[in-house]
Amino acid sequence: MAPKKTPSRREPRRIAVLTGGGDCPGLNAVIRAVVKTAENEHGWHVFGVRDGFEGFLVAADRGISRLDRRDIAGILPQGGTILGASNRCNLFAVERKGRVTDESWRVADTMARLRLDALITIGGEGTHKAAARLAATGVRVVGVPKTIDNDLGGTDVTFGFDTAVGVATEAVDRLHSTAASHHRVMCVEVMGRHAGWIALHAGLAGGADAILLPEIPYDPDRLATRIASRVRHGRRFSIVVVAEGAKRAGGAPVFRRGKGEDPILDRLGGVSLLVAKEIEERLAVSVRTTVLGHVQRGGSPSAADRVLASRFGVRAVRAVADGESGVMVALRGTDVTTVPIEEAVATLKTVDPAGELVRAARHLGITFGAADGSDDAHTAARRRHGAP
């Protein structure tokens, strides 16, 4: 589907950029690329919107200010975002004094008043759903995909993912030595609400013995059986990587706050503690848990994320120059292109339980504790050859 073109009365001269949703390594690299490309290639002025869409709700336009080379100096290796971010602002349902109103009109109003020709939104699913609705009202919007979960559709990879996987993998590496020394089972909880990409990649890279994903409901008895098999074969420790959204067959995700009814306020967390308890109830082994949490979001972006984020920023400015709107830049194969935002947010990109990565993990002897028995063929093959 070809990107939608929006005719313009004149060549853009002033554009805005914001970072929405949770922070992520590589956000500053995109901001830097947008400012440098806009100035170097077009002579445009770039304005930063503070704290995501909340910047449009601040009185007297104090949430928006000019960005120049001095603002972006040295930010390429920095984590977080110099613009600030917010994942609690819904322009279409703003609560004021107990009343909920649609204040999305403020975006077009503010952009017209400040003579801003286009808005570049850097964010994940929530940010881009809002961006798509704004584009439908006539606001010229170009999106840039960001999420450490790598679950945004339309693009092969989102920046931030590589850094998060690197952090999780290093944690698994470090826990290996402790697990082996004390003959323990280590449960490592990583981010991944609906998609288990971080857990799958970090588990593969770190040599995990079990990986629990939101896409493959697990059976604690099957998980315990595999760990017990390792013990019988002299492997007195195991590493279990658990995505925060993992759940038992027939069960629900574990929340440390709320019950999953509010996507903004409710928080997943603690499933690794449940998994540890289930293992201890079934086996005479010592189990410890490590919850990585927001450490996966922080710190300097990896080289791969810096490059991808920079490419995305450059391509976003080009999309504005070409008169595109309602599109998101995306990595397809080796090329950075644009896709309709509606396509990107239509469905989450989740792990295929029958996909090549899952099959590769099983061939390597990793179990998913799959309640549907999909691990069984690989388990039987290992047993025939005397493997744990």
Q: How far is CA 220 from the centre of its chain?
A: 27
Residues 365, 376: contact at Cβ < 8 Å? no
> Which residues are paired to 289 by β-bridges?
187
Q: What is the 3-state secondary structure (H, E, C) of the chain?
A: CCCCECCCCCCCCEEEEEECCCCCCCHHHHHHHHHHHHHHHHCCEEEEECCHHHHHCCHHHCCEEEECHHHHCCCCCCCCCCCCCCCCCCCCCEEECCEEECCCHHHHHHHHHCCCCEEEEEECHHHHHHHHHHHHCCCCEEEEEECCCCCCCCCCCCECHHHHHHHHHHHHHHHHHHHHHHCEEEEEEECCCCCCHHHHHHHHHHCCCEEEECCECECHHHHHHHHHHHHHCCCCCEEEEEECCCCECCCCCCEEECCCCCCCCCEECCHHHHHHHHHHHHCCCEEEEEECHHHHCCCCCCHHHHHHHHHHHHHHHHHHHCCECCEEEEEECCEEEEEEHHHHHHCCCCCCCCCHHHHHHHHCCCECCECCCCCHHHHHHHHHCCCC
Token digits for 229? Answer: 């098999």
Q: Which of 305, 326, 321 is nearest to 41 (CA)?
A: 321
Annotated catalytic residue 149: yes
Q: Which of 183, 186, 276 is nearest to 234 (CA)?
A: 183
From the list 51, 149, 305, 375, the catalytic residue is: 149
Angle between helices 303-321 and 27-37 (to 10 degrees): 40
Residues 278, 223: contact at Cβ < 8 Å? yes
Which amino acid is residue 50, in one-letter code?
A: R
Active site residues: 149
